[in-house]
Every structure is written in C-alpha cells, then in structure tokens.
Structure 1
C-alpha cells in the first residue's frame, strides 16, 4: 500500500478566528509601523505621514497616511482578509499577506482603513479585534466618511488618492498617572520610531524614493500638516574604511547557488550616528545587515555563524541577494530578522574572496583593527573626566581616546570677568571658568550649556593635567599665569579684529 491509498476524501478546514488574538504578538511599535510602510511602498507611495496622536500625553491613536495607488472595494476587502496573499512582484516588500492585520492588532483593538483609487469612489473598512476573533467580521464604512479622509490626505500629503490606516483603542502605551513619565515615554517612543525607520528605509530615504515624517500631537489639536521628516541612518556611512583591504566581497556557495557577502570594517573608535543607532553603541550592531529590495530586514547579529564580542564590533556584513531568502534564509512575519538555514551556515564557513580571504580571516582582520586601537589607547596617560559644559559628543570622543582617572570630573562654565582676562581655574571646585565677556566670539548664535565645543576641547587638552594633582604646585601656577597672559592678549586681539 502506498502512502496515498488510505485517502477517502478531502475536506477544507477554515482557520479558527481565535488565532487573531495572537496576531502581532512579536511586533514592536517600530516594526509594526515599518510593516505598514512596506504596504505603502508596494502601492507606489512616495510620501508617508505617521501621526502619533495623544490625549493628556498618552498615545490613543496612530495614523499612517500614504499617497499610493489606493484601493477599490475588491482590493480593500482582500487587504482586510486574514492570510490573503495577492500576487507579489519580485520587487514587492509584502510577503505573507498578514502584515496589515498583524501589525495593527499587535498594538490596537480597532483597525480602520480608508482608501481612494484614481477614478473610483473612496472606500472604508473597519475591523474590531474582538469581533474579528469570533467570526472575522469586517465593517463597511460610509462613502461620505471615506471622502472626508480623502480630503484630509489631500491637506496633509497633497493627494486625495492613497490609503490611511488608523489604529484606535491603542493598547501598548503608558497608562500611569505621572505626567512627566507619560511625556518621557512618548519622547522615547518617538525617538525609537525615528531611529528604526531611519535605518530600515535609509536607502530609499537617501535617494529620494521615499519621504516619511512623524507628527506627535494632541488628538483634538493635531495640525493638518506633515510632521518632522525622518532622516536616513546609514549603518555603513563611514568616511573611510577602518581597514585598507575592505570592503571585500566573499562568495558563499551551495550547489549552483552563489551569494555575495560584502564585508566591511568600520574605523576604530567611530562615534557617529550610523555606527551608533538609536542611542545604542556600535558594538550592538556587529554582524549581518540583510536587505531585500533596499529594505533592511536584519540589523546586525551573527545568527550563530560567529560569536559576538567587543573585538568584533567593527565588523558588518551586507547580504542583499533576494534569491537567498527562501533557500538560505527564512524571513519571520515581522520582518525583524531571518533564520539562517544549516546549508547557509556551511556555505559561510567555506566562503572566500577572490584573493582567498575566508570568513574567519575577515573577522580576524576586523579584530586586529580594534585591538591595535585599544593598545594605543592604553599607552596614553589617563586623564580627568570632563563633565558639565562639554558637549556629549566631545565627552564620548575623549573617552574613546583616553582612559579616565578615579576622581571628581571637571566642568567648564562661563562667568563675567575683567576685560583682558580669558579664563580662570577654580581648583577646589574642579571648574574651568571662561570669560562670558568674549562668549559671542565663540558662540555667535547665542550661548548654551554645551556651546563653543572647539574652544572647550582645546582648553581641556591644555589644562586637564593641573586638575589631576592633589594641589596646584609652583609649576602649575607658573603655567596658568603664562596661559592667562598669552590667551588674554589673544582674545583682545581677536575681538579687535572682528570689530574692525
């Protein structure tokens, strides 16, 4: 008897509506909104406006508006159907037919979609999560209401055509009573969203194929205009490579399939946006960056092909061969990472560049750049830590180049002194004072706590060692008097030259 001889008939088993309760469980707010933007891009949109609307600083509604092709009755019904998979083109970002529903129900209890297609009347549909999880019920909304939302898109994006996705009854939000905590939660949420979208769609944002903005405002007072634009964050945006022989392409082979791995080495002690992403250090983003149709699907991680560690933080590998997805790689529904199949692990282990460089040799090259930089750092004498008055980027850069001694940090401040004096040192208070009489020379657009970064960096390099002793010795006092004399004359000359 063969394996098929025992079949007597076929029946169709419809999915249980209860599966709706688990939809989107693994979506963050950032990944969910990115999934909606994928749909907008597939619909031909070039502009997307995201609106985080609040009541008393609590997030209550999320809107994603686009100027894409829009939908008619048949298309919007299909879009609201769970698991419906349209015919995908090779360059589409959609993949599973679950994105809209999973992204929405992961964060809200009501999903409303308004859309307008060229030459067709506007349409609207709403799914209540509670109803949908019982019987897949979808509400058909009035044409008049759909027309109002088309008019709103026209005001915000300059196009009646397009689609508006609206989440109400938002679940994942701050619900405490402390207003400061609420505002802090919202600010963190906004920043995380901007960072995630900036790196996920950085290629499309950079070349102008896509413009995205985010507006955060009270629901009843929200402006009918776009918000602040999302700026691209390029995870490979270094000025020059950290290693003279990279980037380098390694070829991973499995049978007749070949995949290119473009291996990069960031410069040592990098401290720029792109190396750091979303406030997290660059070390968190070592590993594979996987693209599909210029959309970033995986943001770092070695996926068990290598062990992460501080010494490998400069190593990042680009994989953008879409043919690898499905054969070597399996994409999760949230598009927030990929599973590396065993055949791909084997292919990477045997990957090589045209000059014979292997994957493990690439990792060793990246480690050597990091290790050499650390050796140079350890040979320098530790210094006192800079604190208030120094811009955060300056503090981080000093920390990247020099180790700090165990002592109270120094701060740099402005105060009024006599004309002809440029600075003073308060050793006991660990404070370097600058004469505010000359502040406008170095901060012409108005002063702030972290103004005049070049001046302050130079003054730190000049004077830090006098704060590092237990007291001011005779040599320290003589140096300070010398600096005061020369810099006092220099700042007067600077002022006279600028006033001519």
Structure 2
C-alpha cells in the first residue's frame, strides 16, 4: 500500500526525563565501576587507578584514572554522547556506547571526564551535570581541569596520555545512612570498597594475571593497593581436575566460522588444598559454583547454572569456564551491561543433557567423599535397632540357603526354589559386634545405594552412605528409630528376595536393577534439601 507523507517533524526526547530515567537501568555498583574499567582497557591502558574520597559531611567522590590513549576534543565529545560512535575494534570491551554515561549516572549526578591524548599536550575536561541538563537541555559543559585532577593524571600516566572519570554528587551509594560522614557511613563505604576489590579481582582475572597470555596485562589499584587476580578454577592446585573440555565450532548467519570453548573443573575439597589460606581464597560457597562466562577474556556472568539446575551444596566443587569473543555477541544476546547471556534452545539442551552430566557426577563424587566422614559419624549406632530386629526374625523369613564356598574370592552357593547356583557376593567380617545384618559403609561399587552381602555367615545388606538418598532421606531421620528400621528392613528384604529368586539367567539383570534403582533415586532426591553437618554433628 502506498503512503503519502505530508510532513516530517523532529520530536526530540525530553532531556530531563530521559537522562533521569537512564539512571534506573539496573546497574549494581560493582558492575558500574567495571564498565568504566572496560573503557580504560579498550583505550590500551596498562594501569587503572581507582580512588574514593569522603569529606567531613559525607560527600563522596570517585576517580577512575588510566594511562590509556586519551582523547582529543572530538573524541571526548563522542565519548560523552549518549549512543557514541561504534569503536573501530569490534572486540573492544566497550560495546554499546552507553556504559560510561548510564553506569556513572546510576550512582552520581555529576559525571566529568578529563583526558589528554597522545597527540596533544592539552588536557580537556567535559561534564554532564544532571541538574544543569534539566535547565539547559543536552548542554555538555567544558571546564578547566582542577589541580588535583591534573596531578592524578600526571601520576598515573607519567605525564603522557590518559583519562580520568570523576563521579561527584554521588547520591546512590550510602543514601540509607543518616550519619553521612559519620563512622557508620565510613565503615559501610569500606565494605563497599572491599566488595569492589573482590569483584575486580574476579572479573578481570585474565588481565591481572601476568601468566595469562591471551589478554593484555593490566594493573588495577584501589586506593593505592594493587588488586590481585582471583582464579575461580584453582588451576595451580594439585587436586584440581579438568573433567571435560570442548571447543565448539559455530557457523554465523554470514557463513563465517567462529567458536567458543567450554571446560569443566572439579576443584579440591577444603582439606585437599595446599594450604588453609588457599582453601579460604577458593571461596567454597554455594554461590560460586556453576558457569563462569567470559567475553573477550572479561568475566560477564558467574555463580549459577543459567536456569538448568539449582545451586546446591553437592555442586560447590564444579565450576564451568565458558569463553567466547565478540563474534558471538548477537548469538548469545549479550545485554547492555555485559552481565549475562541468553542461550538458544539447542545449546542449552546440549549443555544440560550432554556436556554437564559427567562433570556433575565427578564433582558430586568428590563432594560426597568429603562430607561422608561426617555422615559416618552421625550414623554411628543408628542401625543397631535394625540389626537386632532383623536378627530376631532372620531364620523365619529366609527364602534361600546360602553357603560360602570361597571367602577370598567372594564365591557363594545359593539354593532356592529354582535350583542351586554359584554367584559372587561380598563376604566380609563384621567391624562392630552385632552389626551383621545392616552395615552402613562409605562406598559401594558402581555407586549403588545398597547391595546384598554375607557378614559373619549372616545374610546382610550394605548401605552406601555416600549415596544422595542416604544423605537426604536417611540422615534427617537418623534420630527416628522406627523410620530407620523401616527403611533398613525394606533394603534387607530386597536382598533376601534377590537370593530367593536368583538363577544363572537372571543374576546379571538383578544387579542391573539395583544400579537403575540407585540411579533413579539419585535423580529423585536431587531437589530435596541437603542436611547441614557441622563437625560430624
């Protein structure tokens, strides 16, 4: 359908509403500072210096200085423009041309950028003052740099090119503190700086680590203290294992080829670290497991499973490195804050159903072995009632005759209503007086929850305390003798039923049945809460 345009009218947006509205784009403080650091690294800086000041009435100013390439007047105007021109390097950490402004004004009402380019000895300063914008719409102010800014720029850049981003009228960091400038507010600011230091050490790990060769080396200081890299994968620890690794080729819509890499690390248990200090640095907490996603070697998301699984204690030791470059920005829907990605259904399902199951089992096994010492302690004596109860009825409920023919080779002869058969069955001695029908052990072959055995010539069941079912169903009920006896009796009865019906044709299938039931139970209890064990109690 043809349309006839009568006229065209420019309708500029209301400056005050737009610039105030952009304060609420959802930035967190650490993410906002990281956006400024991104620009410094994009400008080729090898040093970034962050400084906080608070005066006696509680007014906070923040300075982020670097020794990057700096900007001339045209470059500075472009940098301060909302929606600045696209960078020449598509792999730049700065992406949408909004981060400097939206990240800054999310926390301050006055943003200044002071810069000196390589080609000029003149230092320029431009400012967005939100209070001024409401009076003079979109008027970017140019000012003379003050002496403190010139001194800081010279210090950081050694008198050469560089840039300082200054936040003033900072109104959204300590707004809940009534004692602005007082001791509580100052302590709160110190906590904010500690959190920022931790965030930078993680997000820019590959830039801060001189040994990492695929990213330029950058020194970042916070109030004069150099920030050290934090390696979430504990790569230098002897017990860290890479349990899966893949480089995946991807064809883009323009038929160009690119790739991403994914690597699964199982990190040590606390007691396996080379020192207590290294174990503390590893941050073995629930919110540090899962994916660590890197765009152009910069961490943009971490600490969860992208909706695939819930964070649970048994996943604490598994951390997944996922790395890609700018060519996959559109494919992964990288957001404006560069803080997360969205996976398409095919990749999501491949990760969840094909890549992750084996690493999750490996991490779960290591975690279980670590906590199992505590489980063994709390389960001590919990099965005494079951042993007494089953012992009083053992002969009355037997379905087969079992004779040990070679204890060293775990060979027994079973006689039941189907005939006489030779099978292999664990033949063991009791480790505790009276524990000859139900024995809680720290592991069973193939990860089974239970298996039949012979203990001191008695028919018995070994129950695997490392299995999730024991952790999540048995452990919370160990104080309930009736519940434990009921569950133990069920497993012992299944072992007796196995001996009463086994024959040469079915003996392999019966073990397979135990394996499948144990596997299904592992899955079924996945979302049950994990009991907390403190020092085995």
**TM-score range relative to shorter protein:** 0.5 to 0.7
TM-score scaled by length of structure 1? 0.65
Seen in structure 2, the aligned counterparts of structure 1 residues 87 and 186 have a Cα distance that, compared at 3 Å, is closer
Alpha-carbon distance in 2 for matches of 1:242, 1:328:
35
221, 240, 259: which is aligned to 1:213? 221
Q: Is the 8 A contact 2:110 2:169 kept in 1?
A: yes
TM-score scaled by length of structure 2? 0.61
Alpha-carbon distance in 2 for matches of 1:109, 1:275:
42
Seen in structure 2, the aligned counterparts of structure 1 residues 277 and 96 have a Cα distance that, compared at 3 Å, is farther
Seen in structure 2, the aligned counterparts of structure 1 residues 14 and 318 have a Cα distance that, compared at 3 Å, is farther
199, 203, 215: which is aligned to 2:202? 199
Compute the displacement of 1:10 (Å).
7.3
Alpha-carbon distance in 1 for matches of 2:116, 2:278:
37
Alpha-carbon distance in 2 for matches of 1:335, 1:275:
30
Seen in structure 2, the aligned counterparts of structure 1 residues 324 and 350 have a Cα distance that, compared at 3 Å, is farther
Q: Is the 8 A contact 1:57 1:182 kept in 2?
A: no
Does structure 1 residue 248 correspond to structure 2 residue 241? no
Q: Give 1:53's aligned residue.
A: 53
Compute the displacement of 1:365 (Å).
2.0
Q: Give 2:290's aligned residue.
A: 287
Q: Secondary structure at the match of 1:20?
A: helix
Q: Secondary structure at the match of 2:27?
A: coil
Unaligned 5+ runs, structure 1: 216-226, 352-357, 383-463, 465-500
The 5-angstrom pairing of residues 420-439 of structure 1 reads none
Larger radius of gyration: 2
Seen in structure 2, the aligned counterparts of structure 1 residues 367 and 228 have a Cα distance that, compared at 3 Å, is same
Q: Give 2:20's aligned residue.
A: 21
Alpha-carbon distance in 1 for matches of 2:13, 2:312:
44
Q: Is the 8 A contact 1:58 1:173 kept in 2?
A: no
Alpha-carbon distance in 1 for matches of 2:231, 2:4:
55
Aligned length: 361
Cα deviation 1:357-391 (Å, max 9, x = unaligned)? x3222212211211221112333589xxxxxxxxx
Q: Is the 8 A contact 1:69 1:162 kept in 2?
A: yes
Q: Give 1:164's aligned residue.
A: 164
Q: Give 1:137's aligned residue.
A: 139
Q: Give 1:319's aligned residue.
A: 322
Seen in structure 2, the aligned counterparts of structure 1 residues 45 and 109 have a Cα distance that, compared at 3 Å, is same
Cα deviation 1:386-405 (Å, max 9, x = unaligned)? xxxxxxxxxxxxxxxxxxxx
Alpha-carbon distance in 2 for matches of 1:275, 1:250:
28
The 5-angstrom pairing of residues 319-468 of structure 1 reads 319-322=322-325, 325-349=328-352, 351=354, 358-380=355-377
Alpha-carbon distance in 1 for matches of 2:259, 2:92:
22
Q: Give 1:447's aligned residue.
A: none
The 5-angstrom pairing of residues 465-476 of structure 1 reads none
Q: Give 2:444's aligned residue.
A: none
Q: Is the 8 A contact 2:259 2:324 kept in 1?
A: no
Alpha-carbon distance in 1 for matches of 2:9, 2:369:
66
Compute the displacement of 1:23 (Å).
2.3
* Higher deviation after alignment, 52-61 or 180-189: 52-61
Q: Is the 8 A contact 1:45 1:66 kept in 2?
A: yes
Q: Give 2:179's aligned residue.
A: 177
Alpha-carbon distance in 1 for matches of 2:285, 2:88:
35
Q: Secondary structure at the match of 1:332?
A: coil
Q: Secondary structure at the match of 1:102?
A: helix
Seen in structure 2, the aligned counterparts of structure 1 residues 80 and 56 have a Cα distance that, compared at 3 Å, is same
Alpha-carbon distance in 2 for matches of 1:63, 1:40:
13
Seen in structure 2, the aligned counterparts of structure 1 residues 45 and 317 have a Cα distance that, compared at 3 Å, is same
Q: Is the 8 A contact 2:243 2:359 kept in 1?
A: no
Alpha-carbon distance in 2 for matches of 1:7, 1:291:
49
* Higher deviation after alignment, 364-373 or 18-27: 18-27
Compute the displacement of 1:28 (Å).
2.0
Compute the displacement of 1:147 (Å).
7.9
Q: Give 1:72's aligned residue.
A: 72
Q: Secondary structure at the match of 1:21?
A: helix
Q: Is the 8 A contact 2:50 2:63 kept in 1?
A: yes
Q: Is the 8 A contact 1:59 1:186 kept in 2?
A: no
Q: Secondary structure at the match of 1:76?
A: helix
Compute the displacement of 1:191 (Å).
0.4
Compute the displacement of 1:87 (Å).
2.7
Seen in structure 2, the aligned counterparts of structure 1 residues 273 and 104 have a Cα distance that, compared at 3 Å, is farther
Unaligned 5+ runs, structure 2: 211-215, 253-257, 380-534
Compute the displacement of 1:268 (Å).
2.0
Q: Secondary structure at the match of 1:75?
A: helix
Q: Is the 8 A contact 1:235 1:275 kept in 2?
A: no
Seen in structure 2, the aligned counterparts of structure 1 residues 39 and 209 have a Cα distance that, compared at 3 Å, is same
Compute the displacement of 1:155 (Å).
2.9
Q: Give 1:451's aligned residue.
A: none
Seen in structure 2, the aligned counterparts of structure 1 residues 324 and 44 have a Cα distance that, compared at 3 Å, is closer
Q: Give 2:213's aligned residue.
A: none
